[in-house]
Amino acid sequence: MWVEAVHRWFEVNRPLVLFVSGQVFFVMGMAILLQTRRYSRLALARGMPWLAAFGILHGVYQWGSLFGRWHQAHGPESVNTIFDALQLLLLAASFAALYQFGVRLLQPFPPRFRWGGALPLVLLLVWLVGPFYLGLALGSDVHQWRTSAEIWARYGLGFPGAVVAAMGLRRQAKLRLLPLEFPSIYNLLRVAGIALLGYAVLGGLVVPQASFWPASVLNVRVFERMFVAPVEVFQGADGLVLAIAVILGLDVFEFETQRLIERMEQAQVVAIERERIARDLHDGAIQRVYAAGLLAQSLQRQAKDPAMQEGLAHLMEGINAAIAELRRFLSELREQETLYLAPALESLVEEARRISGTEIYLEVDEVPPMSPEATAHVISFAREALSNAIRHARSPLIEVRLSYVPARRRMRLEVKDHGVGLPEDPDMGYGLRNMRDRARLLSGTLSLVSEHGKGTRVVLDVPLDNIVRKERG
């Protein structure tokens, strides 16, 4: 019968099945690990090392199962016990890594559930003390100990770990990608989440046969009778789908992140253009209309005809209304209703975090209110420095510090990354020239310190005597 023939084929070629299944998980882990190093600035990618650890450890576990068959047949009992212990540790560690991956994606937790971040480690320790150590120390049958410890590793770590990982992917997709209209990445993460739910069943519930429920009902033997092929075949196929979905998702992240950074650069260009228009309005149109109003006022005083005086009065009302409207439009263009730098800088950093996914640490001192022009220059300087760090540094963290020294009446803005650093002979591009020009307009200095492989620090040092807002009496 063909079913029996298939069963025999898989039994004869079981080492090949275990090798291919292990290779799928191991390659998945290595590929994700390499991709994560490149795109570590993304929140989702920074959680990927745990998924990579799961793939690598689980792949080694599958390969170990291949050699375990030979050890059980030819090795001494003491060596077999040590080998079984190592296998169980690999299995439990891989599940704990998968669990931790899901926890990282679900963070931050509400205050009353903050203990959830330590749950994978707690469950791993419980398994180590209970089924693993006490099961071996108090039990007399080594084979029964191995079966029981594996079952509880799958029930206590594998199943919930895969479910939590799927929930974490779903949360990241809905909160970070769906609102930003990234359908390609969203769909890939949905596929990866479905694959993780499949592994929750295949790797967490399909366990070795045992006398207690549910292992007596749902186990590898029942599964093989129902689906002909061993469960490792389905685990390998599920792992392949997971690997393809996650790796492609990380590949697309680079393109999508660049698109977000382009939006940030466009915002910078728009801010510069709005500032130029505002300056032209202030220095050109408003001054000319104001001069026309003075001329109309002078003509009104010289006019003898009452009708002419009344007409010039109406003309002055129209000119004053036009000046007020131009000033209102000028105020909207500057977008600097607040003269305080700290809130504006906090808003800029929050925007950069949201659109780039980069972890940005902000520390601010209270700086005296400055003129709108000076505030705009400092914010534009910070935006340019942040944009350069996000685009080029490939840094997992960017630090922004705004400090004020009252004794010296000086303000200091520092933007520091921990990325690749600048080349030995950096090109003086538009961004750096723009920051240097703004430092000059503020009567300040720009310093740039970079060491290859250790990051870059951009510092703006500005005296406040000439740019602090004069309070009206």
- Phi first, then psi: give them for residue 82, nearest 5 degrees: -65, -40
> Taking phi first (over 0 means left), then psi (-120 to 50 degrees means alpha), and beta for anything else, what does residue 210 get?
beta
What pLDDT, in 10s, does the model give residues 76-96? Answer: 777 788 888 999 999 999 999
Tokens coding 268: 């910078």
The answer to whether residue 355 scores a pLDDT higher than 60 is: yes
**Per-residue exposure over 222-252, b if at least 16 CB sit within 10 Å of its own CB, e if not:** ebbeeeeebbbbbbbbbbbbbbbbbbebbee
Higher pLDDT, residue 428 or 18: 18
What pLDDT, in 10s, does the model give residues 159-183? Answer: 999 999 999 988 888 876 666 666 7
Residue entry with tokens 């005086």: 309
**Structural domains of the chain sorted by starting position, each given as residue range(s) with its CATH number in brackets:** 2-263 (1.20.1070), 337-473 (3.30.565.10)
Per-residue pLDDT, 377:
84
Q: How confident is the model at residue 472 (pLDDT cuts 50, 70, 90)?
A: very low
- Phi first, then psi: give them for residue 405, nearest 5 degrees: -110, 100
The answer to whether residue 21 scores a pLDDT higher than 70 is: yes
Report the percent of the chain where pLDDT is more than 70. 80
The answer to whether residue 116 scores a pLDDT higher than 60 is: yes
Per-residue pLDDT, 250:
74
What pLDDT, in 10s, does the model give residues 254-303? Answer: 655 555 556 555 655 666 666 667 666 666 677 777 777 777 777 777 77
What pLDDT, in 10s, does the model give residues 35-70? Answer: 765 444 455 766 888 999 999 999 999 998 877 655
**Per-residue exposure over 108-131, b if at least 16 CB sit within 10 Å of its own CB, e if not:** eeeeeeeeeeebbeebbeebbeeb
